[in-house]
Amino acid sequence: MSEPLNFKHFRDGVGGTICRRLGLDISQCVSWADYTRAAVAYNGRDDGFLVAAARDMHDVASHGERSLIQAVLMAADFAWLADELAGGKVWQHTESTSGRHRLAVAACLARID
């Protein structure tokens, strides 16, 4: 049986892990709308900290993590940054992503609560 592509699975899985590594606490979020609000508020609270953290982490991340960071940013309404980090090829990079990272990327795309 395939794993669900809903927000709870994203939050409690590798998606939440990546968010925590970025400094973004999504543990109290119950929906994608909550997630987006939390990301925007977090970035605004610290004068662009989410943007800076994503840029720093992206530079040292594995291929799967990079694809997930880009998807996390897209889902949080930071598509411009995801596109910048991916050199304009966000979705081309996801083709070779596999396993847990691929499921988390798919959850970001599906945005099912």
Q: Which two tokens stand for residue 7?
A: 């927000």
DSSP state of 86: T
For 19, phi then psi, to 5°, come to -60, -45
Q: What is the pTM of this model?
A: 0.92
Q: Is residue 89 part of a domain?
A: yes
Taking CA atoms, 58 is separated from 18, 34, 69, 86, 98, in Å, by 11, 24, 7, 9, 17
Task: Answer yes or no: is pLDDT of 3 > 90.
Answer: no
Q: Is residue 1 part of a domain?
A: no
Q: Is residue 35 part of a domain?
A: yes
pLDDT tens digits, one per residue of 23-65: 999 999 999 999 999 999 999 986 799 999 999 999 999 989 9
Parent domain of 100: 7-110
Q: In the chain, how many domains are there?
A: 1
How far apart, in whole angstroms, are the C-alpha atoms of residue 113 and residue 105? 15
Q: Is residue 25 part of a domain?
A: yes
How far apart, in whole angstroms, are the C-alpha atoms of residue 43 and residue 27? 17
